[in-house]
Amino acid sequence: MNNTQWEKRSERVLEAVAFSSLIPNLFAGFTTKHGGTSKLSYSSLNMGFHVGDEQDNVQQNRQLVAKDIEFPLDQWVGSEQVHSSTIVEVTSRDVGRGAANLDSAIKQSDGLYTTEAGILLTSLYADCVPLYFVAKNAQYIGLCHAGWQGTVKQIGPKLVDLWLRNHQIKVSDIHVLIGPSISQQHYEVNEPIIEQVDRVLPAGEEKPYESSRPGHYMLDLPKLNQLLLLKVGLRAEQIHMSGMCTFKEEAFFSHRQAQGMTGRMMSAIGFKKG
């Protein structure tokens, strides 16, 4: 399994350089919680409009990141993120949606993809799994938000299937980066969630969880996404695991650790113009 190399673009931005290097002019990255203007529970680089932070602070934080990555804010696109498996193709007509406020974001969706330059696909996190997609030869990119609900609804495999069916992309052309998220040792879930996990994994297959106490399990959400992507035909070497835990590592916001009141990091992927 490839261990993707991340480099600090600034105190605010980590770039997945091994993933970005798959295609010229591609940026793929993830923000930290540092170097922003937000206060209190959102200190300091909160990228989410929906968590109760001052809107002006979020807009300023986004402008700081836009400058760091040299991707203008008016080229960003964000989705509403409702823990669905709905995926939307983005074109130049959508640029700016969700960039400066939540109201303009693409509704009722958790997955975005495009083949056009000058579009930065974005998504927000505080423990859930970011899934970045690249079809190297076909020049397609995608981004999916996969909490446990999106994962058991198979949002990652659905994007792969959509590309194969609608765009004639070969499965051998697709690479996936599983970004920073909560690790198994910090992610306890209950029996009903594990029942849904079991429904999407064939009997006898490796299980990405361990019993912790009666009726509860420690779930490896990144591993579950990996297993589901292997199931639809990707090879291990096409799936890049980040291995960074949002709960454990000081650079990140964690919904679990903060017991709900916290900011959000942003995942982003886009072809730059030129």
Question: What is the tens place of the pLDDT at every residue in 44-66?
Answer: 999 999 999 999 999 999 999 99
Asked if pLDDT for residue 2 goes beyond 80, the answer is no
pTM: predicted TM-score of the whole model, two decimal places: 0.97
Sequence ranges of the domains in the chain? 2-181+236-271
| Closest to 126 (Cα-Cα) out of 249, 269, 3, 270 | 249
Q: Domain 2-181+236-271 sits in which CATH superfamily?
A: CNF1/YfiH-like putative cysteine hydrolases (3.60.140.10)
- pLDDT tens-digit series, residues 254-267: 999 999 899 999 99
Maximum distance among all Cα pairs of the chain, rounded to whole angstroms: 57
Residue 234 contacts residue 171 (beta carbons within 8 Å): yes
> What's the rounded Cα separation, in Å, for the pair 215 and 193?
10
DSSP states of 90-137: --GGGTTTTTS-STTSBTT-SEEEE--SSEEEEEEESSSEEEEEEETT
